[in-house]
Chain A
Amino acid sequence: MSRWLNLTQTTTKEERSVHPFWVLVAKEVADHIRSWRFIILLLLILLTCVGSLYTSISNISKAVAKPDDPEGGFLFLKLFTLSDGTLPPFHVFIGFLGPLLGISLGFDAINSEQNAGTLSRVMAQPIHRDYLINAKFVGALLVISTLFFALGFLVMGLGLIIIGIPPSAQEFLRIIFFLLLSVLYVAFWLNLSILFSVKFQQAATSALTAIAVWLFFTVFYQIIVSVVAKAIMPADTENPYAMMGYQKFIMGLLSIVPSQLYSDATTTLLMPSVRSLGPLTMEQVYGAIPSPLPLRESLILVWPQLTGLIAATVVCFALSYYTFMRKEIKSR
């Protein structure tokens, strides 16, 4: 934090010359915005966003009708979660497209500069070496955050106009946390692909590797877990403790996957009636009033998911930072 403060301070001290770090960030942001791949992904996300907004709005009247719905008070959140099964809701779409966005913004961060011969030119300027990799990260993160917050606020605004019910303070905060979480989730994939871009000389290799990791976690990992689950299924299904341990183990295996962490966390944040992400015994459920959780409780519930995602992001960034700092800067 002190570094950031320091950076902005020097900006004001040196008469109107921007700090080199922000020059690099500005260049990154400009590059992303001008690039075709970002425009294509932006259109894709915009399309899905409009699509899911349409389904949720056309189904919202049915949701209002239910009298015993514990989430009846959170009509506005339904904009983000409601679906009639034809099109998945917004947060599921982001869970799917977010990694793609992160990968596409980061997979050629370092190796394209190396291959174009610009890396040694930039490194010959009086800047610290880590400015470059930090700027790559900050630039892409700025683009992602702007995109998600713009989308989120657009959906809120449209919803406000169409359904005419303003969100409560709690709903608004839940949506803000959801957007922050989405940015964090994409940041994880961004960092993973930046790591590959430092490791691999060819941009294509790093893109394919990142996509392979993503596919592995979205498709194959679940299959592997279900195979493992069948294999170690306890013989004594009557024993509640054995079943409980078994369930916890399977949940633990699944929670390694970033997309699982993200979907767990978003459902909890956007559906206040979700009370637990793990197995509940009958004793725990018995006598519980089916009422929504307050925001604080929901946040406490997703805290492990949140820290898991943050840790994964930080580890990826630390690895790419370390590799980049040790890398020999050669011309093309």
Chain B
Amino acid sequence: MSQHIIVLEGLTKKYGALIAVNDLHLTINKGEIYGLLGPNGAGKSTTIRMMLGLTEPTAGIVRVCGIDSTVNPIDVKRRVGYLPDNVGFYDNRTGLENLLFIARLNRTTDAEAHARAKELLDRVGLADAMHKKAGAYSRGMRQRLGLADVLIKKPEVIILDEPTLGIDPSGVREFLQLIVQLSREEGLTVLLSSHHLYQVQQVCDRVGIFVGGKLLANGDIPTLSKQLFTGDSFVIEAGVRYPNPAHAETQRMQLEQTLRDTSGVSSVQVVGERFRIGCSEDMTALIARIIVQAKIDLTYLSKKEYGLDDIYQRYFEGGQTHEQVA
């Protein structure tokens, strides 16, 4: 069996004039955790649905575990666990009943289904709530139940569509750790989609950035950040106040010059009382010292975190032209 567990070749999906996915080429290796990143409406969910044979591609080939999803979706769905975004459960059934239902649909015998469901509920931390109605579950609990639901069929690959959506930050970290732990233990390949780079880069081996139906970048995090943030991989924002308003202008110019002259700083932008400093490494402490030494009050200092917005903004700024897909 080949190393490539998911292979997409020239995958295209059109809805009338709208091109949701445009000539996508992607391979995902066995056992890795792959993050598909992109803003809403980028075609992530459509791509995932095509992998499962829930939607027919307009052109191209999808092969999951060596099986063509378009021709033979049943065999693919037997091997792939899929957690849709906004997953729903039968609210009038308990968490355990919901799991057993899915297990039975996968032809698991009753005794085995019971044992496995209980074990999984225990591992995702829902052992106490398994006899509660799924309708009474909180958002985070539903997501964890969803993970158990995906794993109950003993899949080779799990595909999670926006699994972190709507969970609070600490819940997200916990949930992602759970995914990593479970997938490493069972040797699973994981594909997860998200629009939060920072959440996903903590856990993914490789990441693909997907905008407007096209894969803009693809690779592991170091490669990707080199690709994306050529020059300055860190941006530090500093808020200042000039103690003497009369000298404000000269002080500002001086500080700007000092910062520019510091090695490692690649760009300085000034907007009002805010400095935006781009640098190749984390220089927060040094910048703070420079500002204070210049006898300027430092009111606020922060490392700028990139959202996905900044990333593809950067793509356009970087002179690389991408045709905007309608």
Contacts and interface: CB of A to CB of B under 8 A. Distances in A.
B105 A23 contact: yes
Contacts of A27: 101
A117 B77 contact: no
A328 B55 contact: yes
Contacts, number: 86
A17 B104 contact: yes
Contacts of A328: 55
A124 B150 CA distance: 10
A15 interface: yes
Interface in A181-219: none
Contacts of A119: 88
A233 interface: no
Nearest to B85: A331
A163 to B, nearest CB: 43
Nearest to A20: B105
A125 B87 contact: no
Contacts of A121: 82, 84, 87-89, 102, 149
A17 B102 CA distance: 13
B92 A34 contact: yes
B91 A116 contact: yes
A308 B161 CA distance: 47
A183 to B, nearest CB: 27
A320 to B, nearest CB: 19
B198 interface: no
Given A23-B104, A34-B92, A123-B54, A15 B84 contact: no
Given A126-B74, A126-B75, A126-B78, A17 B84 contact: no
A126 B86 contact: no
B289 interface: no
Given A14-B107, A16-B109, A120 B54 contact: yes
For chain A, the bracket of interface size reads 20 to 34
A225 interface: no
A167 B90 CA distance: 46
Contact of A116 (B75, B90, B161): B90
B45 A331 contact: yes
Contact of B106 (A24, A117, A125): A125
A328 B13 CA distance: 13
B88 A17 contact: no
Interface in B4-60: 45, 49, 52, 54-55
B153 interface: yes
A165 to B, nearest CB: 46
B107 A331 contact: no
Interface in A110-133: 116-128
B108 interface: yes
B34 to A, nearest CB: 18
A139 to B, nearest CB: 14
A329 interface: yes
Given A14-B107, A16-B109, A125 B153 contact: yes
Most chain-A Cβ atoms within 10 A of its Cβ — which of B54, B75, B108?
A: B54
Interface string B85-117: 111111110000000011011111110000000
B84 A120 contact: yes
Nearest to A14: B107
Interface string A4-31: 0000000000111111100110010001
A24 B105 contact: yes
Contacts of B108: 17
A146 B74 CA distance: 33
Contacts of A124: 52, 54, 77, 80-82, 84
Interface string A312-332: 000000000000000011111
B70 to A, nearest CB: 14
A123 B105 CA distance: 10
A27 to B, nearest CB: 6
A128 B82 CA distance: 16
Given A118-B90, A124-B52, A126-B75, A331 B104 contact: no
A126 B81 CA distance: 10
A105 to B, nearest CB: 16
B161 A331 contact: yes
Interface in A283-332: 328-332
B92 A331 contact: no
A31 B93 CA distance: 10
A221 B62 CA distance: 53
A6 B166 CA distance: 44
B154 to A, nearest CB: 12
A17 B112 CA distance: 10
Interface of B: 45, 49, 52, 54-55, 74-75, 77-78, 80-82, 84-92, 101-102, 104-110, 149, 153, 161
6 contacts: A116-B90, A117-B86, A124-B84, A126-B105, A127-B77, A330-B49
Given A17-B108, A125-B77, 17 more contacts: A14-B107, A16-B109, A17-B104, A17-B107, A17-B109, A19-B107, A119-B88, A121-B88, A124-B52, A126-B75, A126-B105, A127-B74, A127-B77, A127-B105, A329-B55, A331-B87, A332-B86
**Considering the complex of A and B, which 9 residue pairs feature the smallest CB-CB distances, nearest first?**
A117-B88, A124-B82, A331-B84, A126-B78, A116-B88, A120-B84, A125-B105, A126-B77, A17-B107
Interface of A: 14-20, 23-24, 27, 31, 34, 116-128, 328-332
